[in-house]
Structure 1
């Protein structure tokens, strides 16, 4: 029987910045457009957090039942390690994804944007079939595409839309930046797992690119958001505040390109999440100040 601490580990708290960052930037963009709706912002955050915890448990269940996690390096896997029954982890996944849907329904009710229900259903399906089903797309190298879309444009622009209506160009730039940084977290995870994924037949993008190519991809994903800060700064100078996160980005790129591997990449995963959170917070502040 898994302990509470093990269930918390299974939720993969290091990935929570992926849920928080898009809501920060989306809310900053809404403020930039002249309208902030705290209730909708909180509901969007609840949806985002519930979805990422749900997908983490879903991945634990699907990977564990396939045997992909049998020799995994990294945080505890509940099913793969045998500390929790697969059925219990599956129930936890459905529970959190269901919570996300309920929060999304409340959000729709408060905004009357009924078409967003379809977006919510697509998000849940994408969460489950990332590693679930007979042909999970995460095993085919499309995980980064999904992470970019759902934790970048969908989450950021959705948060903006429910508060202030149609997003502007600055919101789009922020959404792209968050999506890329969110991908960098997944790429770090998949870089660490290249060897075990090859053995398990999991053809992630990291497996397809190889070690050297994946490290270069990570460097690009971490660098481009700062280029976007500069581009955005031309339109709204306060967005240049995002460059204050550059020293952490430089340190991470140097470390990854320097060949760090194995368990040492667990720390890089956490720091990549912190970089995303820092850049997003600074960008959100810049968006808000640009409205003054």
Structure 2
């Protein structure tokens, strides 16, 4: 834990935003954009707007987690994770709550441009993403408290983010404001590609929850790791890694793509190193760095995946 007496208000807000989690927001946008370049539908403004929206939703979700975990008693002094600003008293609970709503409001406002491009499907995606970000630890049935956190992350920080990013670029050339998804703007390839960042984003959460198994169990937070225990949570982590590296191989075998799709395999040594830690350690001293390293793995894997898609189109 950090010595809170030496932390400035500015640093406290940075801690609350959790910049180490932002690769989970940026990675699927990067992958979706790489595929858009490959397919010749790249559009810079929609791609940038998708990135801004994803980052804002991630930060808003972080504020929500900090606030709700504290008021529900899930965060205690025994917790081995990074310092939570609400529980530690660095920022008043009501301030964190206001920041959460403000961040989500800015995300919705900034998303109006994407709505003008993508129409009703983007309205549905945007509102569902915000609602789920709050419901992850808030509301009458917190997803993270009932073993559904991984499902939320896999869907919204993987499938929805990648396909949504691709869609807003592909639909940019379509006249009018779509009420449904126009033909050709959401190919199967976007869904398949989304599985890689979805898996690695989920792997980040697995590390977080494995680290907190003991304290979460004491406070009644029934995460999937609490339900599965150490052994099967580690199996889940390995499964997520397997999915992340199988997806590029699927594209490399498709004649429509190239061997550049295998570029993410260059990150495999990082995955092996982090997996060794996750498979053998339970303490925060080891798993906090492993959590950050899994986030770095997600970022590197996604950049390489996007380059693998884009390379044949730009070389």
Pairwise CA distance, 1:226: 0.7
Counterpart of 2:200 in structure 1 is: 181
User: Structure 2 CA distance, aligned partners of 1:181 and 1:62?
Assistant: 25
TM-score by length of 2: 0.89
Pairwise CA distance, 1:20: 0.7
**Is residue 252 of structure 2 the alignment partner of residue 246 of structure 1?**
no
Task: Tell me: CA distance 1:112–1:202, structure 2 relative to 1, closer, same or farther (3 Å).
Answer: closer
Matches within 5 A, 1:69-148: 69-71=75-77, 72-109=79-116, 111-148=117-154
Counterpart of 1:204 (choices 205, 212, 223) is: 223
TM-score by length of 1: 0.96
Pairwise CA distance, 1:73: 1.5
Counterpart of 2:302 in structure 1 is: 280
What are the superposed Cα offsets for residues 129-151 of structure 1, whole Å, 9 maximum, x if unpaired? 11101221210000000000001
| Structure ID, larger Rg | 2
**Contact 2:157 2:197 (C-alpha < 8 Å) held by counterparts:** yes
Counterpart of 1:55 (choices 61, 68, 83) is: 61
**Contact 1:12 1:75 (C-alpha < 8 Å) held by counterparts:** no
Pairwise CA distance, 1:169: 3.5
Matched pairs, number: 291
Question: 73-82 or 145-154, which moves further after superposition?
Answer: 73-82
Point out where structure 2 has 5 or more consecutive residues left out of the alignment. 1-6, 172-184
**Contact 1:242 1:282 (C-alpha < 8 Å) held by counterparts:** yes
User: Structure 1 CA distance, aligned partners of 2:207 and 2:118?
Assistant: 39
What are the superposed Cα offsets for residues 53-89 of structure 1, whole Å, 9 maximum, x if unpaired? 0000001110111111123212111111111111000
SS in 2 for 1:287: helix
What are the superposed Cα offsets for residues 251-285 of structure 1, whole Å, 9 maximum, x if unpaired? 11122112353231110011000101111000101
Counterpart of 1:261 in structure 2 is: 283
Pairwise CA distance, 1:32: 1.3
SS in 1 for 2:82: coil
Counterpart of 1:163 in structure 2 is: 169
SS in 1 for 2:253: helix
Pairwise CA distance, 1:2: 6.1
User: Structure 1 CA distance, aligned partners of 2:301 and 2:311?
Assistant: 15
Question: 112-121 or 141-150, which moves further after superposition?
Answer: 112-121
User: Structure 2 CA distance, aligned partners of 1:227 and 1:115?
Assistant: 29
User: Structure 2 CA distance, aligned partners of 1:181 and 1:32?
Assistant: 22
Root-mean-square deviation (CA), in Å?
Answer: 1.4
**Contact 1:25 1:284 (C-alpha < 8 Å) held by counterparts:** yes
User: Structure 2 CA distance, aligned partners of 1:171 and 1:115?
Assistant: 16
SS in 1 for 2:288: helix
Pairwise CA distance, 1:112: 4.6
**Is residue 209 of structure 2 the alignment partner of residue 195 of structure 1?**
no
Question: 66-75 or 137-146, which moves further after superposition?
Answer: 66-75
